[in-house]
Structure 1
Amino acid sequence: MSIEQSSDLSAPIVYKVNQVISAEQFVDLLSKTTLGARRPIGEPETIEAMLKNANLLITAWQGEALVGVARSVTDFAFCCYLSDLAVDETVQASGIGKTLIRMTKDALQPKCALILLSAPQAVDYYPKIGFTQHNSAWVLTNIDDLK
């Protein structure tokens, strides 16, 4: 599936569902966003596993350039964890992020909840576009911290 959105830039934005992207393309995009600082861009094996094991990937392209990605892990029925929402800073504020979110939600069953953890720079963005803040998310990254 692919849709096109007009843009005031030289080439239109084209969106693709589950288009395979390389770890290099993903890292290149992450490096053009604030999300890059919080992703393992120096660990190619981890990046490859992130892409391989995501089961919903919506991408935005301007010509041959990857300019946006929404990478999710989901059961498609109850919950969808939108793990990465990244838009190249040169094309931010043009509706690409909202389109990636909308297409992610459209790929799910209607009652499926879309869940994400916000980057610090984006905490004010999500309420503006309709997300509700949930204050009881918990993260465990090191098993040695389990008591």
Structure 2
Amino acid sequence: MTTRPKVLYASEPALDAAEFRRVLVESGLGVTRPIDDDVRLKAMLANADLVLTARLDALGKPLIGLARGITDFSWVCYISELAVCKSAQGLGIGKGLLDEARRQLGPSVAISLISVPDAVGFYERIGMARMADAFWFGRER
């Protein structure tokens, strides 16, 4: 019988951009994020209202997942990244991060996000509802 490692969830508004970049790359989200633009990564972290982390309770407490969100703490929180290192996927880390976001935001705040195609099944399995009629203007750079 194998035991799952203990995971520590926390708010880390001052998360280091290098750790952020590493998890984006190791999760697979690096292909859709500006991982080669340190200034932009730092701005993404500095301007987020919610930066939650998942770390292994082990020597050095390595970062294995994160959730970054923009919110008014009253009505809605948009999760712009939910990233879990591939080596830790399937251990409940993504759900744990969303559970922590829900705990910190409280029952009056809805959570929304845009999923990459490969993660749609995950969000459906954990009970998130699909939203119809979502719209967006794409980035120019």
Structure 2 CA distance, aligned partners of 1:98 and 1:142? 28
Deviations 1:32-76 (Å, cap 9, x if unpaired)? Answer: 012111111011111000000001111011233110001111011
The reply on whether 1:114 has 2:111 as its aligned counterpart is yes
Pick the aligned partner of 2:134 from 117, 137, 141: 137
Corresponding residue for 1:39? 33
Q: Comparing both chains, which one has the higher relative contact order based on Cα–Cα distances under 8 Å and sequence gaps of 6 or more?
A: 2
User: Post-superposition shift, 1:111?
Assistant: 2.1
Structure 1 CA distance, aligned partners of 2:18 and 2:106? 31
Q: Which amino acid aligns with 2:47?
A: N
| Aligned Cα root-mean-square deviation (Å) | 1.5
Pick the aligned partner of 2:78 from 65, 68, 81: 81
Q: Which amino acid aligns with 1:80?
A: C
Percent identity (aligned): 36
Tell me if the contact between 1:76 and 1:107 (Cα under 8 Å) persists in the aligned partners: no
Corresponding residue for 1:4? none
SS in 2 for 1:58: strand
TM-score when normalising by structure 1:
0.86
Unaligned runs of 5+ in 1: 1-6
Question: Structure 2 matches for 1:28-107, cutoff 5 A?
Answer: 28-62=22-56, 63=58, 64=60, 65-107=62-104
Structure 1 CA distance, aligned partners of 2:124 and 2:43? 31
Deviations 1:105-142 (Å, cap 9, x if unpaired)? Answer: 11113121100000111011111111110121111135
Corresponding residue for 2:18? 24
User: Post-superposition shift, 1:18?
Assistant: 2.8
Q: Which amino acid aligns with 1:90?
A: S
User: Post-superposition shift, 1:19?
Assistant: 4.8
Number of residues of Structure 1 aligned to a counterpart in Structure 2: 135
User: Post-superposition shift, 1:87?
Assistant: 0.5
Structure 2 CA distance, aligned partners of 1:73 and 1:58? 12
Pick the aligned partner of 1:14 from 8, 13, 17: 8
Structure 2 CA distance, aligned partners of 1:107 and 1:16? 10
Tell me if the contact between 2:13 and 2:45 (Cα under 8 Å) persists in the aligned partners: no
Structure 2 CA distance, aligned partners of 1:28 and 1:18? 16
Structure 2 CA distance, aligned partners of 1:142 and 1:131? 26
